[in-house]
Amino acid sequence: MDLVEVFSKFPTQADCIAHLEDARWGDKPICPFCGSDRVARKRENQRVGRWNCHCCHNSYNVLTGTIFKGTKVPLQKWFLGIEILLNAKKSVSSLQLADVLDLTPPTAWRMGRQIRKVIADNSVCLSGIVEADEASVTTAGTRKKDDEDPPRPGRGTR
C-alpha cells in the first residue's frame, strides 16, 4: 500500500475506527478491561466508536490499550505515519514526519517513537493496516540521534 492508497482507503476518522475494530475484534467486540463480550455500541449521537461494557460498566473505544489511545491526532495521519515508517528505505526523522503529516515536531517525535516501538515489538495492532516489506521492518528498530530527545516546541520559529 502506498500513501495514496491509505488516503483513499481511510478517508475519514470513522473509516479508520471501523478498520481498527475489524482488525482487532472481527465481529466479536471484547471489553479491553474485563474481557467480556457483553458489550454494546453506544448510540449514534455519541462519539464515534464508543462502546459500553455491561459486565464491568466501563466505556471504551477500539483505541483503548493501543498506541492510538487518547491521541488528538486524526487516525488517518497515524495510518500514514505507520505506512511511511514501515516502508521507508532510509530512516525518517521526526522533523520529516512533522513536515509530511503537518504535525508539530514534538507530536511527530512522539508518534514516530510509538510507531517504531510497535514495529520493533512486532505488535499485532499494526496487522491489516499496512503491509511491511521485510527490509524496512528489520531496520525500523534502530535509533537515530534525532529520536533521542523530542524537539523543543517553537524552535527556530521566531
Residues near Zn ion, by CB under 5 A: 31, 33-34, 36, 53, 55-56
Measured from the CB atom, the residue of 59 and 91 that comes closer to Zn ion is 59
At its nearest, how many Å lie between Zn ion and the CB of residue 64? 11
In whole angstroms, what is the distance from residue 62 CA to residue 23 CA? Answer: 10
At its nearest, how many Å lie between Zn ion and the CB of residue 29? 11
Query: Judging by DSSP bridges, how do beta strands 39-41 and 59-60 pair with one another?
Result: unpaired
Measured from the CB atom, the residue of 34 and 120 that comes closer to Zn ion is 34
In whole angstroms, what is the distance from residue 76 CA to residue 101 CA? Answer: 10
At its nearest, how many Å lie between Zn ion and the CB of residue 36? 5
Residue 144 burial by Cβ neighbours in a 10 Å radius (0-12, 13-18, 19+): exposed
At its nearest, how many Å lie between Zn ion and the CB of residue 42? 14
Query: What are the grid coordinates assigned to 82, written together?
Result: 505507520
In whole angstroms, what is the distance from residue 117 CA to residue 65 CA? Answer: 14
Measured from the CB atom, the residue of 29 and 74 that comes closer to Zn ion is 29
Measured from the CB atom, the residue of 53 and 82 that comes closer to Zn ion is 53
Cβ–Cβ under 8 Å, residues 114 and 67: yes
Measured from the CB atom, the residue of 16 and 31 that comes closer to Zn ion is 31
Closest by Cα among 12, 74, 2, 62 to 32: 62
At its nearest, how many Å lie between Zn ion and the CB of residue 81? 30
